[in-house]
Chains A and B, each alone.
Chain A
Amino acid sequence: MARMKFLCDADRCIECNACVTACKNEHEVPWGINRRRVVTINDGLPGERSVSMACMHCTDAPCAAVCPVDCFYTTDDAVVLHSKDTCIGCGYCFYACPFGAPQYPKVGNFGTRGKMDKCTYCAGGPEADMTEAEYVKYGSNRLAEGKLPLCAEMCSTKSLLAGDGDIIAEIYKERVVTRGYGSGAWGWRTAYGDAITV
């Protein structure tokens, strides 16, 4: 099985936010929740870089470690998913995540956040694949259809890569060698314990 990862080549990202929009549309994500977002570092300065970020599907995910009800699980493809039926909306995963991925439909005072929502790597949830029940809670399951996450698939500059970690790391390395520069595989060191060295 593949070890699925995301990689945002920030030297290619043009901050068009199409990945954000595609994700919201594909999964009918509730109002106020953004499973993916584009953050611009040093905005307006020479050498600014934009990074598209969502759940990185960490190795030894800290969200899964702190969950009091153990609602997270890792698929064979190493995608970190969770069960909204089991989630109690305590908010611990929000504080454990280095990437700001877990979000809640409501304002967090007095423990009334509602069920957590986050990027599923377009892989749905614990319900049977490609069912209505799964779609309503988690959005579409493109992985089950043999497709990769939509955000990466429709990226116009092919900045955002999704797929097996080794393969996309190889693509990124090749790019860095060819063009002679690279601002780094953003989040990889934090999520997977090692950065891509070229």
Chain B
Amino acid sequence: MNMKTLAQRFVAVLGVVAMLGVAGMAFTPAAQAQQINPTAESVTEDALLQALQEGDKIEGRVSIPDDLSSGLIKPGNASWASTHTGTVRFLTIAAVVGAVVVLALFYMIRGRIMIDGKMSGIRILRFTAIERFAHWLMAGSFIVLALTGLNLVLGRTMILPWLGEGAFSTITVWGKVAHNYVGWAFMLGLILSFLVWVAHNIPNKVDAEWVAQGGGLFKKGVHPPAKKFNAGQKVIFWATTLGGAALSFTGFMMLFPVLAGTQADWQFYQLIHGIVAAGLSFVIIAHIYIGSIGMEGAFDAMGSGEVDLNWAKEHHSLWVEEVQGKADPADPPAKGTQPAE
């Protein structure tokens, strides 16, 4: 054996030792990993629930091809349920019953608001066919939507015991279908009404005077001046426009849950929808009252479109001056109120 082979062997042995050393070092962290106790580090439900943010859910991975099923526990869903059956149901009952009680009291105290100067027999055009179409498209669809919507919130306690499960289920299915489709007619009516009336509904100084006099609602013979729409009607216009827009948007999102986003988003839209609907129901019940049995001559405006001249002079004096001024500039409009016959 010469020196060269000896050196080669020495290098080879050195190499093996070095390799073992490197391998040994590589094994050390692996041994440490073995010491991690998966049980001690296990996720616990308590910890996850405590760390959970409002409206969030405990979720993981599922092997079935349906991402929706990856949520495990979402306690927030139960709080939506209790808000819906608690607060929203209460507000709905309060709005409807409240409106009826307030109007019944008003009727008993004030009675029907009559035309002080009696009917003149002269009729002037108040709402054109387009205005009436917009109004009744919106009004008719709103009534369908309100009744079917109220049925979803209150029917279970108020109608179900009378009809029984089968019949109630049937009318509620049809109510749901009607609600889903008639909503589009409402949106169209809402847009039309907004377009034909927004110019007349900008608040101005006349409204302050009208409000100061209580609109003449509470005292016989008091008729604060008003243009085409008085302050009360402007309130109804804006409540309908803004409330209707909110209902349309949230309703659209509820119809297309995929667009609405997460469950929490849908729940938010649903609560807004319910609360706004309750509020608008209150406003509209009052509007229906004052437009029908509450005031003599008022229904004609949306019925035939033509109102009695004396009614118009009492309730919309400035508007009468405007239209009569336009129609017959030679004949100056009457100042103040017309004396009774």
Contacts and interface: CB of A to CB of B under 8 A. Distances in A.
Interface of A: 11, 15, 17, 20, 32, 34, 37-43, 46-51, 53, 62-63, 65-71, 83, 85-88, 90-92, 95-100, 107-111, 181-187, 189-190, 195
Contacts of B68: 100
Nearest to A93: B81
B241 interface: no
Interface of B: 36, 38-46, 48-49, 58-64, 66, 68-78, 80-82, 84-85, 151-153, 155-156, 160, 165-166, 168-169, 172-173, 176-177, 180, 255-258, 263, 266-267, 270
B81 A11 contact: no
A95 B80 contact: yes
A47 B72 contact: no
Contacts of B177: 111
B85 A65 contact: yes
A109 B42 contact: no
A139 to B, nearest CB: 18
5 shortest interchain CB distances as A-B pairs: A184-B45, A47-B41, A62-B81, A96-B81, A47-B42
Contacts of B39: 11, 47, 181
A69 B168 contact: yes
Given A95-B266, A95-B270, A42 B43 contact: yes
Contact of B78 (A32, A43, A71, A190): A190
A38 B63 CA distance: 8
Given A95-B81, A182-B44, A187-B73, 13 more contacts: A17-B63, A41-B48, A41-B58, A42-B43, A47-B39, A62-B77, A68-B172, A69-B155, A69-B160, A86-B169, A96-B77, A99-B74, A184-B44
A49 B43 contact: yes
A152 B32 CA distance: 37
Given A37-B62, A39-B61, A96 B160 contact: no
Contacts of A62: 77-78, 81-82
Contacts of A92: 84
Contacts of B270: 95
Contacts of A71: 165, 169
Given A32-B66, A98-B77, A186-B72, A68 B42 contact: no
B258 A108 contact: yes
Contact of A181 (B36, B40, B152): B40
B42 A49 contact: yes
A20 B299 CA distance: 63
A100 B156 contact: no
Contact of A100 (B69, B152, B180): B69
B255 A109 contact: yes
A37 B64 CA distance: 8
A49 B59 CA distance: 11
Contacts of A66: 81, 84-85
A46 B46 contact: no
A111 B255 contact: yes
Contacts of B42: 11, 47-49, 181, 183
Nearest to A110: B255
Contacts of A42: 43, 60
A176 to B, nearest CB: 11
A86 B78 CA distance: 22
B81 A65 contact: yes
B169 A37 contact: no
Contacts of B72: 39, 41, 51, 53, 99-100, 186-187
